[in-house]
Amino acid sequence: MDFLIALDKRLTSVLEWVLIALFATFLVLVCLLVVLRYGFASSIYGGNEFVTIAFLFTSAIGGAVCITRREHIAITFFVDMLPYEAKKWTYIMGLALIAVINGAMVTYSIGWISLAGHNPWQPFGWPQGIVHAAVPVGCGLAVFYCCLKIVLTAAGRESIDVLWMPED
């Protein structure tokens, strides 16, 4: 179990740095594009498209990281009234449902990418599958984190006393 806890922390740390890099990239690029457009009537070739890719991957990966940090949207009013064991299994069932939904998204998105992913994406001429990959990457990470949290919670290695708050 210690390996899973360490894996969770390391992977989350790496993904958070990826998110920081992507967010910083699209923030700087958006600001630069606005200044160029309104200040100099110019632009960067493919700048808007690159911002779109960075935003898609930031959203997809960020959603998965929110699962492990317990920062996703939840209304826990009734769950908080349950006894500890019922609360724990309710949390586990919620994670299982999130994993199933995201697993279905991975399955459907792979079929989608195989059909449309080879088409060139303008302006770079890259395959559209690069852009579409945000869906299976984000949903796949969400499934992984849900399964990891289910195992750790069921084994008693993760506390649910304060649900939806990250543990330090």
pLDDT in tens, 105-153: 999 999 888 888 788 887 788 888 888 888 999 999 999 999 999 999 9
109: tokens are 């998105």
pTM summary value: 0.84
State how far the Cα of 30 lies from the Cα of 36, in Å rounded to an integer: 10
Mean pLDDT of the 77-102 span: 90
For the chain, give the mean pLDDT: 87
Give the pLDDT confidence of 63-77 residue by residue, as tens digits: 999 988 888 777 778
Token pair for residue 147?
């399964």
First to last CA, the chain: 17
Cα angle at 27 between 56 and 50, to 5 degrees?
45
Q: How far apart are CA 47 and CA 67, in angstroms?
A: 31
148: which 2 tokens? 């990891």
Cα gap 64→73, rounded to integer Å:
12
What are 86's two structure tokens? 């019922």
Q: What is the pLDDT of residue 164?
A: 44
- At 35, the pLDDT band (50, 70, 90 cuts) reads very high
Pairing of strands 120-121, 126-127: antiparallel
Provide the pLDDT for residue 161.
65
Specify which residues 126 forms β-bridges with.
121
7: nearest Cα among 97, 68, 60, 58:
68
Three-state secondary-structure class, residue 22: helix
Distance CA 122, CA 3 (A): 43
Residue 162 confidence (pLDDT): 54
pLDDT of residue 165: 45
* CA 69/CA 9 separation, integer angstroms: 10
